[in-house]
């Protein structure tokens, strides 16, 4: 994953695509920050699953910013954030549909033997392990809560 991002950065630099270069540099900076954060736990570098989590977090932050910029009357900044979202999403797997999320939650509930809302953490842990970067965990949390209630 790191190599692909760095190769794409080099290609964007050669091609003169300034927006893509800037976004890929932001991605690299976020990955390096996550590497540094992981050092106390004994990891030298984060793995691809952790990189997907970092990318999903970046997309979520930008979507929040888009919402705020749009409501604040700054469509120019919202467009810039949207362009970054498109570039970041190139590195994320295909996002799951709501029906697929429900099926995954049902399977995770069966796998963990979850019986109620108190087992929510177990279910979410299984989902995060299996579907990092593919699922909106905000939606999944709400759906899991309703299924466990």
Burial 74-103 (b: 16+ CB within 10 A, else e): eeeebebbbebbebbbebbeeebeeeebbe
pLDDT in tens, 56-114: 899 989 999 999 999 999 999 999 999 999 999 999 888 888 899 999 999 998 998 88
Assign residue 130 the CATH number of its domain: 1.10.10.410
What digits encode the pLDDT tens for the residues 100-131? Answer: 999 999 999 899 888 888 888 899 989 988 88
Domain boundary among 89, 110, 129: 89
Whether 59 and 31 map to the same domain: the answer is yes
Residue 38 belongs to a domain with what CATH number?
1.10.1510.10
d(CA 147, CA 36): 37
What does the pLDDT look like over 7-41, one tens digit per residue?
999 999 999 999 999 999 999 999 999 999 999 98
Give the pLDDT of residue 72: 95
Is the same domain home to 84 and 102? no
Q: Can you give the pTM of this predicted structure?
A: 0.74
Looking at the fold, whether 135 and 69 belong to one and the same domain comes out as no
Running DSSP on this structure, what letter comes out for residue 44? S
Backbone angles phi, psi at 91, to 5 degrees: -100, -5
Which residue stretches of 42-96 are H helix?
Answer: 48-71, 75-89
- Please count the structural domains in the chain: 2
CB 23 within 8 A of CB 87: yes
Q: Which domain holds residue 28?
A: 2-89
Q: Is residue 107 located within the same domain as residue 133? A: yes
């Amino acid at each position: 994953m790191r190599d692909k991002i760095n190769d794409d950065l080099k290609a964007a630099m050669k091609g003169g695509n300034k927006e893509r270069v800037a976004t890929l540099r932001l991605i690299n900076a976020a990955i390096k920050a996550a590497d540094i954060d992981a050092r106390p736990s004994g990891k030298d570098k984060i793995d691809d699953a952790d990189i997907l989590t970092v990318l999903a977090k970046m997309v979520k932050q930008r979507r929040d910013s888009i919402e705020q910029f749009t409501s604040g009357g700054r469509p120019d900044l919202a467009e810039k954030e949207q362009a970054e979202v498109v570039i970041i999403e190139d590195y994320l797997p295909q996002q799951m549909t709501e029906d697929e999320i429900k099926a995954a939650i049902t399977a995770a509930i069966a796998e963990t033997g979850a019986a109620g809302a108190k087992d929510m953490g177990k279910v979410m842990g299984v989902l995060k392990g299996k579907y990092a970067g593919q699922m909106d965990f905000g939606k999944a949390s709400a759906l899991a809560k309703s299924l466990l209630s």
